[in-house]
Structure 1
Amino acid sequence: MSQTTITSTSADHGVTLYTLRNAHDMRITISDRGATLVSWWAPDRYGRVADILLGYPDSDGYQTNSPYFGGLIGRWGNRIANGRFTLDGADYLVDRNEGNNHLHGGDSGFHLAQWQVEVGADGLRLTLESAEGDAGYPGNLLVSVLYNLDDDGRLSIDYSASCDAPTPLNLTSHGYFNLNGGSADIYDHILAIAADQYLQVDSQLIPVKAASVAGSAFDFREPAPIGPRLAWPDPQLTLAKGFDHCYCLRQQYPTVPDQGRNVQPLREVATVYDPGSGRQLSVATTESGLQFYSGNFLAGIQGRSADAYRKHDGFCLEAQAYPNQINGPDAEAVILRPGQIYRQTTTYQLKVR
């Protein structure tokens, strides 16, 4: 039985921080602003405790949070080309906050919202009401996310949502990890992703086609260090200034029936291992896509350490639908309609080897 406890403390700007602590004194701190993952304190193989999440030193930075440190992203994680989509014959224009494109929910995304909190036996539940017209989206939306930390070092994130009119929905968590606790960059981290294809992008990081990972820098079917791959002469790495691509996760069957749809079961899709600390992070999800981002634009951002972050000081593994999927042939799969319940489960489990 889990012995996880949840405590709260007040911070600046009316923010409350909630700390989940398991029986082994592993601690995860979550803010009610943006349902944000703030810190994850965990020991290495020598018992030395460090924070494996990147973030700001106080609540000030999270008021704008341009890197999206730890934020709960919505209504749409990742990009929508030209900030436009058509839904049931009607054209919609949503916030364009990255050039001509829509990114991570726009100027007033969920990562900046004040969420309502309920502490229960099943974990920390945060809820948010997103009104029709927010960022240009149709329909009123009610979103819930449940965080739970168990005694095996597994952080579970269970999402659900309902609406009163059809709306695109693609939720994700934008935690930045560094398994050495910030003592070095992520070059030595050894990554594995269960995907045979990834989505190649154009100069605006909008997907243009699916491509095989075979023979490319993107092939993490077998574990490989991140640093050497970043040095490969690959045009896709040049475009993105590193990895910022969605992997098409392997499908697992049988699927799970859910309100007339067949969805993927929860299955492990990625692992990251840091040889220096012995920490290993495993990711499992019900989603079809996994965005691997290698922290290409961290340089100069002041985090919790005395020195500012550098490029590739952290990585993200964001479970989600495909970027710009609302404008593709499988758009219906990312439309939430009245009477349906959006569901997603993603877990991050930390162990020491």
Structure 2
Amino acid sequence: MQSLFGQINGQPVTKYSVTNANGVTLSCLSFGATWYSLTVPTDDGPRDVVLHYRTAEEYDQASSFLCKTIGRTAGRIGKGQATLNGQLVQVPTNENGNTLHGGKHGLHDLNWDGRAEGSRIIFTCHMPSSVDGYPGDLDAQVEYLLDDNDTVTISYSATASEDTLWNPTCHIYFNLDGADNTINAQDMQVLSDQRLELDEAKIPTGNLLPLADTPYDFKAPANLGAAIDGLQDIDEKGIDDVYVISEHEENDPVCTLWSSDKKVSVALTSPRNGLVVYSGNHFEAADDLEGYEGRPYVGIAVEAQTLPTAATDDSGTIKLAADEQRDDWISYKFTF
């Protein structure tokens, strides 16, 4: 099913929806190839566990990257300088002299071509180098698949005319309690023993920090509110960190979230070695989210990706070779 969601710069923004055999409904928007909503049936009625804005204009104007497709590179690149084939590559900067989430004109800023086919919502785009400033022209596809096991799998594929950088993700924000709640009463588990040390601009220093005996430790399931309370003495006043994912089997969950009533959970699976966790520390009243008062901690972002240090070292490959197709995926298994 598809419908007109609104317009941005005179272009129609289309909303696509698919529903599985269990009554779970997934909806996405063409602008930013955005995950708009995920509604699950519960004993208390349908519960939407994904944050979203009310209008297309809000998606265009907001700085939160709310649930959008992120690329070409997720995370931050210091001074916009990456290494590719042993050479320094300069890409456009958009945050304090650094590059965040692919720059100002990254994939989040495009109105993608889209279609719904059965249980799939498929988006495609052509990103010229002249628009986003990365090497080579890029052709990308993002596919959202909702199966009857209540799993959403996002598949990314891309080719480029020149060797380029490619590290996509979904900037998903969950609130498994739904309605007007914060995440503070919810629990999380992350398959990680370390996080990246970040400087004041949130650029990795190259050092690793242990998680044990700190508020950042979610190796075992732990309460998000307790962690946030334990971080009130830092400027961030919450989590905004890059977790180093421990070695694991490809289908082992790397992150699991639970609602406060334990009726809803989501287990995230990804073969990549990084997970950015952001506890929504800077949402405010101006963030007019549907169903939520704009305030800190209304949602949590869990962004599976290759560690951002791969832009300058060997902590993972984010090179996309010319004329070769690269495929990546993230899956989200819901229980309710």
**Match of residue 248, structure 2, among 249, 252, 257:** 252
- Note the C-alpha offset of 1:151: 1.7
The answer to whether the aligner puts 1:240 opposite 2:236 as a matched pair is yes
Q: Show the counterpart of 2:6.
A: 12
Q: Show the counterpart of 1:95.
A: 92
Q: Deviations over 1:219-270 (max 9, x none)?
A: 11110001111122587xx2533111111111236xxxxxxxxxxx343111
3-state SS, counterpart of residue 308 of structure 2: coil
**Most deviating of 185-194 and 209-218:** 209-218
CA distance in 1: counterparts of 2:190 and 2:299, whole angstroms: 17
The answer to whether the aligner puts 1:303 opposite 2:289 as a matched pair is yes
Q: Show the counterpart of 1:59.
A: 56
The answer to whether the aligner puts 1:147 opposite 2:144 as a matched pair is yes
| Code of the aligned partner of 1:308 | E
Q: Show the counterpart of 2:273.
A: 288
- Note the C-alpha offset of 1:325: 2.3
| Code of the aligned partner of 2:278 | Y
**Match of residue 85, structure 1, among 82, 95, 112:** 82
3-state SS, counterpart of residue 229 of structure 1: helix
- Note the C-alpha offset of 1:145: 1.1
Residue 233 to residue 49, structure 1, CA distance change in 2 (3 Å)? closer
**Match of residue 155, structure 2, among 154, 158, 173:** 158
Query: 8 Å contact 2:158–2:326 — kept in the other structure?
Result: yes
Residue 302 to residue 234, structure 1, CA distance change in 2 (3 Å)? closer
Unaligned runs of 5+ in 1: 1-6, 254-264
Q: Show the counterpart of 1:76.
A: 73
| Code of the aligned partner of 2:30 | D
CA distance in 1: counterparts of 2:6 and 2:191, whole angstroms: 41
Unaligned runs of 5+ in 2: none
Q: Show the counterpart of 1:104.
A: 101
Query: 8 Å contact 2:16–2:115 — kept in the other structure?
Result: no
CA distance in 2: counterparts of 1:195 and 1:330, whole angstroms: 15
Q: Show the counterpart of 1:223.
A: 221
CA distance in 2: counterparts of 1:291 and 1:340, whole angstroms: 27
Residue 162 to residue 20, structure 1, CA distance change in 2 (3 Å)? same
Query: 8 Å contact 1:54–1:314 — kept in the other structure?
Result: yes
Q: Show the counterpart of 2:301.
A: 316
CA distance in 1: counterparts of 2:115 and 2:181, whole angstroms: 37
Query: 8 Å contact 1:158–1:344 — kept in the other structure?
Result: yes
- Note the C-alpha offset of 1:98: 1.2
CA distance in 2: counterparts of 1:135 and 1:70, whole angstroms: 20
3-state SS, counterpart of residue 240 of structure 1: coil
Q: Show the counterpart of 1:28.
A: 26
The answer to whether the aligner puts 1:119 opposite 2:116 as a matched pair is yes
| Code of the aligned partner of 2:29 | S
- Note the C-alpha offset of 1:152: 1.9
Residue 89 to residue 223, structure 1, CA distance change in 2 (3 Å)? closer
| Code of the aligned partner of 1:36 | T
Q: Deviations over 1:288-336 (max 9, x none)?
A: 111111001112211113x6311011001100011242122446x1111
CA distance in 2: counterparts of 1:155 and 1:33, whole angstroms: 19
Query: 8 Å contact 1:127–1:145 — kept in the other structure?
Result: yes
The answer to whether the aligner puts 1:170 opposite 2:167 as a matched pair is yes
3-state SS, counterpart of residue 82 of structure 1: helix
Query: 8 Å contact 1:203–1:239 — kept in the other structure?
Result: no
**TM-score (norm: length of structure 1):** 0.88
CA distance in 2: counterparts of 1:150 and 1:20, whole angstroms: 10
Q: Deviations over 1:50-95 (max 9, x none)?
A: 2211111121211233111110001111101111223235433322
Query: 8 Å contact 1:81–1:324 — kept in the other structure?
Result: no
CA distance in 2: counterparts of 1:277 and 1:20, whole angstroms: 25
